[in-house]
Each structure stands twice: as structure tokens, then as C-alpha cells.
Amino acid sequence: MIWEEIEKPDKKNVVDLMSAINVSRPIAELLVQRDILDYDAAKAFFRPNLDNLHDPFLMKDMKKAVERIEEALESGEKILIYGDYDVDGTTSVALVYSYFKDMNADCLAYVPDRYKEGYGLSFQGIDHAEKKNVSLVICLDCGIKAMDKVEYAASKNIDIIICDHHRPGSKIPKAVAVLDPKQDDCNYPYKELCGCGIGFKLIHALHKNNNRPFEELLPYLDLVVTAIGSDIVPITGENRILAYHGLKILNDNPRPGFKALMSMVKKDDFNITDVVFIIGPRINAAGRMEHGLEAVNLLIEKDQNTANEKAKAIEAYNLDRRTTDQNITLEALKQIKSLKEEKTKTTVVYNESWHKGVIGIVASRLTETYYRPTLVFTKSGDYLAASARSVLGFDIYNALEASSEYIEQFGGHKYAAGLTIKEENYSRFRKKFEEVVSDQIEDHQLVQKQIYDSEIKLNDITPKFFRILKQFGPFGPKNMNPVFRINALQDTGFAKAVGKENEHLKCKLFKNEESLKIDGIGFNLGHKIDLLKNKQKVDVICAIDENFWNGQISLQLKIKDLKLHSA
């Protein structure tokens, strides 16, 4: 693993900020790295303010969308709220559906079947809308490439409003309104909203159009923060504001569905990491193992007892999902070794029996293991479907676009995407994808890096320092939990490997000329325990964390890597 420091911030900017807001140099350096250069920017960062959200009507087609929805509401039309089956999609549907229900709208919720319909707006979904006498479909977290589906809906006199955040193709569907800040001609100031974020801007616009107070929208923010965390969008700008206030709602007054899910875990205060690793996987499990509408039904449920029962069912799906993805990961690893795939610059595996609902998780695990752009295929009806995951700095969406001669359909982001191909094209596509990636990727991108923000001293770690660090949250892309390098540390002599298979490392570290001694925990670093023997000096890369033990709270190093100190 290569250790790499983020580019050092401008010294003058650091000194000026230290003076302006009275913080230590390490804190000022972290802020300048995040382009926070003065008092006002620091205030906006540390105290995210809902007043700083952009006017939703700045988004292209928002006025058209609101006018069409108001027309539908006034004339009593039936509206279908349609969304994808993942966390972003199901929270989007829950948000817009529950808002419309609160407005006494005649509406239905719809999530496509992952296995029968696949991702996005489907012909089956439009047929369902026709059978239910729907005249308006609001499409959430999907639709930006659904040209043929929108035309099909129009042939049935069904209007479509698209709310999406994925990259558009060369053509935009001829919908009544297309809300997607990533359109070239959309001048909306913030481009990184998730699908649920776009849905929130839509209800914000409707609310504003009716001169209703913004405070009435606050209860919906627990859905928005769940989508922001789970969809791995940048925690900057509007996403930071929405996530910050969404976490407050999630912890202080969550909807019954979230309350039921959170009660299954012994934890009092949920942060964005808990959203990603505790709440998100459970919501996702419904769409992966059964049907995404079950997640929507949980999230729109108003009765706590009923929500508790629905949450139990989803917890069972999640346990099933864990077992399934672990088994498939083991099979995929064996396949890679037998094919000697380790020598390629991509990882592409296929088994027709693999569960389509977990191939995205498996692709992530394989990427962590071999650190290559990765595709995991399975059979899906008459086609093969795949989930794609990438490595730091490599745009897998562009690589798929360059291989599109063998692809039937694809969509996604820089680091994660999905695609379908014809079975007979599998070998040709695999060869083409390897050629494209080999041509585009640089060798250093195939070596895992441990990025750190700055080098600090052990004595920099004080309670005040950590209190300020906590205020850097919520953490996520473009605002990761700060990581530090600390050099020439020694163990006090009590380092040990812990865990069922001694896979983790526990230690207490100090530095001769500094007074502080601090506990350290290194997950999956048990194999490095020999580096700490005989009080050898080591360099450590770590985050600062709190340890709760026997009712006591202390600071500790969450060690990410360590190596022998080189003077």
C-alpha cells in the first residue's frame, strides 16, 4: 500500500485562517484543504444553515414540473410515484409519495421488480400505470436515458416527469419536465444531489409555490440523509446542509420505519457512517432479496407497531443477503484464481446462478481484494446483467461507454455502474473492456493508496482538537473523516492481536519526548504485530476516534496502516 499525503495547503492561507477563527495549525490546514479560507466560509461549514439551500426553481424545468403537478392535483388526476429499488430510489418514492398523501393527492407508489423489470422506468411499469388510470408518472432516481419508455407512455396519454441525478446520454427524453442538474444546459448551482435530493427539491418547489413554510419539510430530511449517505455522493454544498439537518431528525424524531430499524442496533447516536453501514443495507435488502416496495411501505408507515413488524421482515432479508453475498464472493474469488485473472487490469467474472440482488456488493468486495475495475455478471432473463465498481481515480462509466458496441444498456457514475449485454457477446465484451481499461488506466491507479490529510504530533491530540474534528462531520466523499500520519511511535509493550482469528491489532502508543500515551486499534492489521515488538519505532496512519468502555470515554487511534519508522 502506497502512503500519499494530500497536497499541502498554502501556508499564508493557513496562517490567516488560524488568526481569523483562532484554531490550531492542524485544524486550519484541514479547513484550507477544503477551500475554507475565511471566517464566513468556516461558519457556513461548521454551522450548515438551511437558509443557504438554493432556490429549487433555479433547476431547469422545475417550473414546468410544478405547473403539471398542480394541474394534476387540481383536476384530481391519479399520479404514480415511480422509483428505483435501491436506497436512493426507495427513499425518493417514500418522500414524494408521503408528501403527496399529506396533500390528499390521489397517488400510487411503484418500484420495479429487480428481476422481472430491471433498473429504471419499465414498459411493465407504464402498463401498470395505464391499468390504474394514471395520467402522470413522477420518475425518481431513474429515467434520464429512458427515451423509448417515455415515448411509450406518451402513446398511452401518460405524462412523465423525470427527477434523476445520473449522467444524461447524448439525447434527453421528451418528458413533460426533466429535472437533472447534470444536463449541460441546466444552470442549477449544485450538481451533486442524489435522486432523493432531487425529489426533495421538487417538493420544496411545490411547497414554495403554495407559500407554505419551509419548516414543514423538515420531517422528510431523515429520508434525504439516508439516501445521501447510501448513494455515496459528495458531502459538500447542499448535500452537507441536508445531511447535517437530516441526521438531527433521524436521531431526535425519526419516522416509525427508521425508529424500528434503529432499535435493532444497540446504539444511541447515529452518524453518517451508521446510515451507510446499518440503515442503508437493511433498506437495500428488500429490493435485493424480495421487492423494493417493501422498503417503501416500511418508510411510509405511520403506526409504530406495524412498522416494527415490517422491520423484522426486512431484517430477515438482510441476514439472508449477508449469507448470499459471502458465498458468492468466495465462489468469485475461486473463479478469478482458476482463470488467473490476477494478471489482467480488470476483474470480470460470471456465473448464471449468482443472485442478481447482491452482485454489486460482490463487485465491491472483489475490487477491495484485487484493486481492479471490476464487473460481476449473472443471468437476467434473456440477457446477462452486471454490476461495475472502480478504483480511485478511474472512471468506469467512460470505460463502459468506450465498450458500448457490445452493451445493450448501461448507466451509473464514475465509480459504480450497471449494464446488460447479450449472452453471446460476453467473451467479446470482456476482451474489449480489458483493452479499453488497459489503454486508459495508469499503473499507479492499480495500487491501493492510503491517503492522509497531514502529519501531526501525538501531543496535538487533545479533547479540544477532537471536539473540533467531530464538527467536520457529516463525513463522506469530498469531506472524508480526517486521516493523519504520526511518526516514530512505540508500543508500551502490551500490543496484542485480538478477534476470533487474531485478525485485529490492539496497542498503546507513545513517543519519548511527548507526554501522551494513547490506545490504538487496527482492524485487520493483526498480521503486523511483529512491527511493534521490542519497542521498535513505527510510523502510523490513523483517524482519531472515541472509545467507549465500562462507562468511560477516551480518545484512541483508529489505525489504518503502520510501518517501521525511517529516520
For the segment 299-355, what is each residue's pLDDT rounded down to a tens digit? 999 999 999 999 999 999 999 999 999 999 999 999 998 876 557 899 999 999 999
Beta strands in 103-236 (DSSP E): 107-110, 134-140, 159-163, 177-179
117, pLDDT greater than 90: no
Helix (H, G, I), strand (E, B) or coil at 253: coil
Q: Which three cell numbers stand for residue 446?
A: 492499480
Q: Where in the chain is the domain with CATH 3.90.1640.30?
A: 56-314
Tell me the CATH number for domain 340-446: 3.10.310.30
Q: Where in the chain is the domain with CATH 3.10.310.30?
A: 340-446
Query: What's the mean pLDDT in 258-279?
Result: 92
CA–CA gap between residue 410 and residue 405 (Å, rounded): 11
- State the number of CA atoms in the 13 A half-sphere of 432 facing the CB: 15
Residues in Cβ contact with 51 at an 8 Å cutoff, skipping those fewer than 6 apart = none
**What CATH number matches the domain at 2-7+451-564, 1.10.287.3510, 2.40.50.460, 2.40.70.10, 1.10.3720.10?**
2.40.50.460
Positive or negative torsion for Cα 421, 351, 290, 254: negative
Residues in Cβ contact with 189 at an 8 Å cutoff, skipping those fewer than 6 apart = 54, 58, 237
pLDDT grade, residue 552 (50/70/90)? confident
Q: Which three cell numbers stand for residue 272?
A: 453518517
Q: Which three cell numbers stand for residue 393?
A: 481515480
Q: Minimal CA–CA distance to 386: which of 360, 405, 361, 367?
A: 360
pTM higher than 0.85 for the full model?
Answer: yes
Tell me the CATH number for domain 56-314: 3.90.1640.30
512, pLDDT greater than 90: no
Q: Which three cell numbers stand for residue 152?
A: 411509450
CA–CA gap between residue 145 and residue 560 (Å, rounded): 40
Q: Which three cell numbers stand for residue 96?
A: 414524494
The H or E element containing residue 323 is helix 304-339
CA–CA gap between residue 557 and residue 255 (Å, rounded): 35
pLDDT tens readout for residues 463-489: 999 999 999 999 999 999 999 999 999
Positive or negative torsion for Cα 369, 194, 95, 140: negative
Helix (H, G, I), strand (E, B) or coil at 76: coil
CA–CA gap between residue 11 and residue 32 (Å, rounded): 9
Residue 391's alpha-carbon distances to 373, 396, 425, in angstroms, are 6, 9, 25
The amino acid that residue 416 corresponds to is A
The amino acid that residue 496 corresponds to is K
Q: Where in the chain is the domain with CATH 2.40.50.460?
A: 2-7+451-564
